Amino acid sequence: MLRVAVPNKGALSEAASAMLAEAGYRQRRDPRELVLVDPENEIEFFFLRPRDIAVYVGSGTLDVGITGRDLFLDAQVEAEELMQLGFGASTFRFAGPVGDFDSLGQLEGKRLATSYEGLLKDYLAARGVTASVVRLDGAVESSVRLGVADAIADVVETGSTLRAAGMEIFGEPILRSEAVLIGRRGIEAPVGLDVLLRRLQGVLVARQYVMMDYDVRKDLVDAAAALTPGLESPTVSPLRDSEWVAVRSMVKRNHTNRIMDELYELGARAILVSSIHACRI
């Protein structure tokens, strides 16, 4: 059985389980369940702290796992990113009291609080900045006011936690993160991993694309197909009126309305959009 680590709580947990359920796997009903076997799909899910998932995968105890790129890199284990999963986006950034800092260089000799010690130390070392790193478990925004640090490096999503603490971001983003599937580096792919990857890819595509259908005059079909090239090539079918054809193509969900406007301008009619429930590309 393929052994898969899934976040048990926190920012990534619900979306990770939703994605696996959409990919056709059994998911737990009770959030206290620690292990779930899906015998039909020959796969076993282990619900673990997202920070620990990299450790289990890196040590080879579990085959693959879903965690945040930031947590994965912080853990500094022998594993690699197999797939980006398109949720759990966040940015890891420096922040300090409003007006105190505006560049990385000013951190020289300062105290920096973070929950991501490995990630931060690597970043500072790569840029030749010497600062002392204070490792905290969470609520890092309070550390400056409470006097244990001069600035922080933390996950920022909306920025509202920072604002509430009287702080602002400065410098370039340290890392852009999202949920990723990680696996062990340099080993033969475990049995069943190819199916999991294809299924997750199918969910990503079904979420990112819609199916677009329209009718267009034959002489305009090349111009219309250029607007809707699809993944490989649009399907063009004859209509009873031999001057017209029906076209069917996958279109990026966030381009839907622009493409419909452009098709209509061109002369296409009966433009219909439907969602894709599942797919294998």
Ligand X SMILES: O=P(O)(O)OC[C@H]1O[C@H](OP(=O)(O)OP(=O)(O)O)[C@H](O)[C@@H]1O
**Closer by beta carbon to ligand X, 17 or else 228:** 17
DSSP code of residue 189: P
Tell me the residue type at 168: E
Task: Determine the residue with CB nearest ligand X.
Answer: 138
Q: How far is the CB of 173 from ligand ATP (least distance, A)?
A: 12
What sections of the chain are H helices per DSSP?
13-22, 50-59, 69-75, 117-126, 160-164, 193-208, 221-227, 256-266
With contact defined as beta carbons under 8 Å apart, do 72 and 178 qualify? no
Which residues lie across from 135 on neighbouring strands? 114
Kindly indicate which of the ranges 19-27, 53-61, 67-75, 226-234 contains the residues binding ligand ATP, using the contact rule CB under 6 A. 67-75
Residues 149-168 that bind ligand ATP (CB under 6 A): 155, 157
Residue 118 region, left (φ>0) first, then alpha (ψ -120 to 50), else beta?
alpha
DSSP run (H or E) holding 171: strand 167-177
**Closer by beta carbon to ligand X, 162 or else 271:** 162
Q: How far is the CB of 7 from ligand ATP (least distance, A)?
A: 6
Q: Is residue 88 a contact residue for ligand ATP (CB under 6 A)?
A: yes
Task: Report the partner that residue 159 touches, choosing among ligand ATP, ligand X, none (CB closer than 5 to 8 A by kind).
Answer: ligand X
Residues 116-175 that bind ligand X (CB under 6 A): 138-141, 154-161
* Alpha carbon distance 100, 106 (integer Å): 9
Q: Among 2, 6, 53, 71, which residue sits at the site for ligand ATP (rule: CB under 6 A)?
A: 71
Sign of CA dihedral 209, 211, 215, 219: positive
Footprint of ligand X (CB under 6 A): 138-141, 154-161
Footprint of ligand ATP (CB under 6 A): 9-12, 50-51, 68, 70-71, 88, 90, 138, 155, 157, 177
